[in-house]
């Protein structure tokens, strides 16, 4: 390379092991590149730093030769200034160099990591993408690419490509301190005091959950052991859950002490870090699926920590407003289910349908802030969301059969007759009939002012398709010399024609005559929605016979609107009211989270009324709430649920 020409430079950190790779018979005057090999824990990584001269033409053969020379390796990354434009990496135009490079990329299945953000700033303030990062298929999922905002005085923006792999680095010499016994004790005291000071600093920080580090209680151990699946295989120690669950009380005490010691010190047993790997043959026997079995003792401690974290998350009013989250649920999950129900039919006992139900329950529970112990029927009632079972039943068999029966006459070519009525005082009365078989001038008298206005008004789009049929029929009749006049008259004013039309309409409704026109989707939607609502109420009434009875008796669904509709309450207040309305402590007892529905004060049942008005343990804390409640509800008894019926 002559002085003054362009060049490339690659900087590598000092402690990273690498090798320079020389490719034979891969060169061209328009291209400069360097190839480096880095060792990782698995396959080596090859990095190619490239610069292409913009004033010279690079043939396609060179690109193919360069890519093919590294085709045998799984992890290859090309980076550099290619000076090539193409739409696929974000340019607004394509150059010949870009087309050749793109063809080489496609033939070698490389992945373009650029996300379309410009990397080059022209003198005219225009930007383009010419600094590229290309990765092989196996390496691309481990890479992330970004463009920095600061050019640092250059006309190129730095492009950062991160590879989530550990590279082998050179070992550094470390000095070892040879301490005497007294010096070692002094160092231990210094480290201990430093740790204590750091802990004290944490205590002063807001948001630190100190209770997470409190010792486990015997009830937490018992619950974790009861929730563990007894039939799961053990780890290397071959001690399964059936053995652990039958331990005497003395051994359980020692086990709990061991867990608390691990929790306080933050050091796990080495045996818990090892697993038993079992290889299970896949169908066909050509490959196997590994299963890792950990110690059951480790899993029990994991259960205890999990239950603490779950309680913490469920007890906090995190997330957006419930109304917004329910809107997201309806726009994503429910809309997809209802759209698909027009095509798919499900066996309600199938595994996939049960999964859909669980997704629905989980989404509504998160949106409303309920805990996992809340009965499903209570949760659905408060959210005004019927279970998916009702949606599928309505939107497949019933709705399809109803639609086909109502449109069968039209498909057999029967004649349609449309009637409607409206009354405007002080005007004439008449009746009108429309038929495409008439061949004389026609005057149509109609008492439906809204229908006539819709036919004559061309400024607005009409949702009713019949309006357009009538307009087209009037136009066709005028082309054949038939003049049609529309005349509005008020109804029920003594005109014989209107009276006969009204009598005919009533007779048709009682005799069951099937009109031969397509039922509007708005009408079908109203009928379908009414059937779904009635089945939803029947489901709530039946489910309340064995769970959520208290909620159903106090807060039965008498409106289609959620109770916090058009209120200014925030998520924290809404979640708190939801917990109170669902009678939380009784639900916790039903799923064995608490041992009894009784109150610690000795009362047989603990609900919000007992805690606020009767319990001696909480009398002082609830005094302000009691005074406020009694000042607002003078004539009512001490029943907080009256205020929760319509909270504000």
- The residue with greater pLDDT, 298 or 332, is 298
Q: Which of 133, 131, 120 lies closest to 161 in space, CA to CA?
A: 133
User: Does 307 share its domain with 369?
Assistant: no
Query: 34: domain CATH number?
Result: 3.60.10.10
420 confidence band (pLDDT: 50, 70, 90):
very low
Domain boundary among 315, 332, 366: 315
Around 129, how many Cα atoms within 13 Å sit in the side-chain half-sphere?
23
Residue 573 maps to a domain: no
Question: For residue 583, what are its two tokens?
Answer: 């009678």
User: Does 380 share its domain with 429?
Assistant: no
User: Does 181 share its domain with 296?
Assistant: yes
User: Does 143 share its domain with 182?
Assistant: no
Q: Among 144-153, 401-410, 611-620, where is mean pLDDT lowest?
A: 401-410
Residue 113 maps to a domain: yes
Output the pTM of the full model: 0.39
CA distance 531 to 438: 41
- The residue with greater pLDDT, 570 or 434, is 570
User: Does 428 share its domain with 360?
Assistant: no
CA distance 520 to 526: 10
**Over 60: is that where the pLDDT of 83 sits?**
yes
Query: 422: domain CATH number?
Result: 3.30.420
Residues 6+ apart with CB under 8 A from 381: 540, 548, 551, 552, 555, 556, 557
CA distance 438 to 426: 31
Indicate the SS3 state at residue 473: helix
Q: Quick one: pLDDT at residue 195?
A: 75
Q: Quick one: pLDDT at residue 516?
A: 57
Q: Are 227 and 303 in contact (CB under 8 A)?
A: yes
What are the angstrom distances between the C-alpha of 37 and each of 12, 73, 136, 163, 317? 11, 11, 15, 14, 52
Complete DSSP assignment for 292-344: EE--HHHHHHHHHHHHHHHHHHHTS--SS-HHHHHHHHIIIIIHHHHHHTTT-
Domain boundary among 315, 342, 364: 315
Backbone angles phi, psi at 228, to 5 degrees: -70, 145
Neighbours of 562 (CB within 10 A): 17
Question: For residue 56, what are its two tokens?
Answer: 């010279």
Residue 304 maps to a domain: yes
- The residue with greater pLDDT, 411 or 21, is 21
Residue 13 maps to a domain: no
**Over 90: is that where the pLDDT of 50 sits?**
yes
User: Does 526 share its domain with 509?
Assistant: no
Q: Are 146 and 166 in contact (CB under 8 A)?
A: no
DSSP state of 611: I
Residue 328 maps to a domain: yes
- Residues of the chain with pLDDT > 70, as a percent, come to 77
User: Does 33 share its domain with 141?
Assistant: yes
CA distance 486 to 453: 10
State CA 641 to chain mean position distance.
Answer: 33
User: Does 53 share its domain with 190?
Assistant: no
Q: Facing residues of 46 across strands?
A: 37, 76
155 confidence band (pLDDT: 50, 70, 90):
confident
Number of domains in the chain: 5
CA distance 135 to 430: 79
Q: Among 320-324, 340-344, 454-458, where is mean pLDDT lowest?
A: 340-344
Q: Quick one: pLDDT at residue 99?
A: 92
Looking at residues 404-423, what average pLDDT do you find? 40
Q: Quick one: pLDDT at residue 51?
A: 92
User: Does 378 share its domain with 419?
Assistant: no
How confident is the model over 271-303, as pLDDT tens digits? 888 899 988 888 877 888 888 899 999 999 998
One-letter-per-residue 3-state SS of 51-116: EECCCCCCCHHHHHHHHHHCCCCCEEEEEEECCCCCHHHCCCCCCHHHHHHHHHHHHCCCEECCCC
Q: Quick one: pLDDT at residue 48?
A: 94
Helices and strands, number each (H, E), in the chain: 23, 14
DSSP state of 171: P
User: Does 425 share its domain with 403?
Assistant: no
What are the angstrom distances between the C-alpha of 536 and each of 381, 394, 421, 465, 576? 9, 11, 34, 32, 25
Looking at residues 107-133, what average pLDDT do you find? 84
514 confidence band (pLDDT: 50, 70, 90):
low
Residue 94 maps to a domain: yes
Q: Quick one: pLDDT at residue 257?
A: 93
User: Does 33 share its domain with 155?
Assistant: yes
Residue 574 maps to a domain: no
Residue 577 maps to a domain: no
151-156-157 Cα angle (round to 5): 50
Q: Which domain holds residue 153?
A: 18-163
Looking at residues 94-112, what average pLDDT do you find? 91
CA distance 338 to 329: 12
Residues 6+ apart with CB under 8 A from 419: 448, 501, 505
Looking at residues 353-381, what average pLDDT do you find? 86
- The residue with greater pLDDT, 210 or 530, is 530
Checking 469-475 for CB contacts under 8 A at 24+ apart, the result is 470/434, 473/434, 473/436
CA distance 260 to 252: 12
Domain boundary among 276, 294, 315: 315
Q: Among 190-199, 441-450, 614-623, where is mean pLDDT lowest?
A: 441-450
User: Does 461 share its domain with 502?
Assistant: yes
How confident is the model over 555-603, as pLDDT tens digits? 887 778 888 887 888 888 888 888 888 876 665 666 566 667 788 888 8
**Over 50: is that where the pLDDT of 426 sits?**
no
Residues 6+ apart with CB under 8 A from 395: 338, 341, 342, 528
């Amino acid at each position: 390379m002559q002085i003054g020409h362009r060049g490339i430079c690659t900087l590598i950190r000092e402690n990273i092991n690498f090798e320079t790779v020389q490719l034979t018979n891969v060169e061209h005057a328009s291209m400069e590149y360097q190839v480096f090999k880095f060792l990782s824990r698995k396959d080596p990584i090859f990095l190619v730093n490239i610069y292409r001269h913009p004033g010279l033409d690079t043939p396609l053969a060179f690109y193919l030769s360069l890519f093919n020379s590294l085709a045998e390796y799984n992890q290859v990354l090309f980076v550099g200034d290619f000076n090539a434009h193409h739409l696929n990496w974000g340019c607004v135009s394509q150059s010949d160099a870009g087309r050749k490079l793109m063809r080489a990329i496609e033939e070698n299945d490389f992945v373009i990591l650029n996300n379309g953000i410009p990397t080059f700033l022209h003198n005219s303030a225009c930007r383009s993408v010419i600094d590229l990062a290309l990765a092989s298929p196996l390496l691309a999922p481990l890479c992330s690419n970004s463009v920095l905002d600061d050019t640092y005085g250059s006309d190129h923006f730095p492009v950062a490509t991160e590879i989530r792999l550990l590279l082998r680095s050179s070992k550094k010499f470390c000095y070892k301190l040879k301490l005497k016994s007294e010096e070692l004790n002094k160092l231990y005291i210094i480290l201990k005091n430093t740790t204590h000071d750091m802990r004290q600093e944490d205590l002063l920080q807001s948001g630190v959950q100190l209770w997470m580090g409190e010792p486990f209680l015997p009830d937490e151990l018992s619950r974790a052991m009861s929730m563990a699946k007894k039939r799961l295989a053990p780890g290397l120690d071959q001690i399964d859950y059936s053995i652990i669950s039958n331990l005497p009380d003395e051994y359980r005490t020692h086990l709990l002490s061991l867990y608390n010691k691990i929790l306080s010190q933050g050091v796990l047993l080495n045996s818990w870090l090892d697993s038993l790997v079992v290889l299970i043959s896949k169908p066909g026997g050509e490959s196997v699926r590994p299963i890792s079995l950990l110690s059951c003792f480790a899993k029990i401690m994991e259960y205890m920590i999990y239950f603490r974290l779950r309680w913490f998350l469920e007890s906090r009013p995190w997330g957006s407003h419930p109304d917004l989250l329910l809107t997201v649920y309806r726009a994503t999950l429910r809309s997809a289910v209802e759209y698909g129900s027009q095509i798919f039919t499900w066996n309600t006992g199938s595994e996939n349908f049960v999964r859909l139900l669980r997704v629905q329950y989980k989404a509504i529970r998160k949106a409303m802030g309920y805990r996992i112990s809340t009965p499903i029927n209570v949760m659905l009632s408060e959210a005004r969301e019927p279970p998916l079972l009702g949606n599928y039943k309505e939107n497949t068999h019933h709705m399809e059969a109803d639609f086909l029966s109502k449109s069968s006459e039209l498909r057999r070519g029967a004649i349609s007759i449309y009637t409607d009525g409206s009354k405007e005082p002080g005007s004439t009365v008449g009746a009108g009939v429309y038929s495409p078989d008439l061949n004389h001038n026609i005057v149509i008298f109609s008492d439906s002012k809204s229908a006539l206005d819709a036919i004559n008004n061309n400024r607005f789009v009409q949702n009713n398709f019949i309006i357009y049929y009538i307009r087209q029929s009037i136009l066709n009749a005028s082309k054949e010399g038939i003049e049609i006049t529309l005349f509005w008259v008020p109804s029920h004013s003594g005109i014989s024609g209107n009276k006969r039309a009204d009598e005919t309409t009533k007779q048709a409704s009682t005799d069951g005559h099937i009109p031969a026109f397509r039922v509007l989707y708005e009408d079908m939607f109203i009928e379908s929605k009414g059937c779904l609502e009635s089945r939803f109420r029947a489901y709530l009434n039946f489910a309340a016979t064995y769970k959520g009875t208290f909620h159903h008796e106090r807060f039965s669904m008498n409106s289609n609107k959620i109770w916090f509709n058009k209120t200014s309450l925030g998520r924290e207040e809404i979640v708190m009211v939801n917990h109170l309305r669902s009678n939380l402590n009784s639900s916790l007892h039903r799923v064995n989270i608490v041992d009894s529905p009784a109150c610690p004060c000795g009362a047989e049942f603990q609900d919000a009324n007992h805690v606020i008005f009767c319990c001696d343990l909480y009398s002082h804390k609830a005094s302000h709430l009691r005074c406020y409640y009694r000042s607002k509800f003078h004539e009512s008894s001490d029943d907080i649920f009256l205020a929760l019926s319509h909270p504000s």
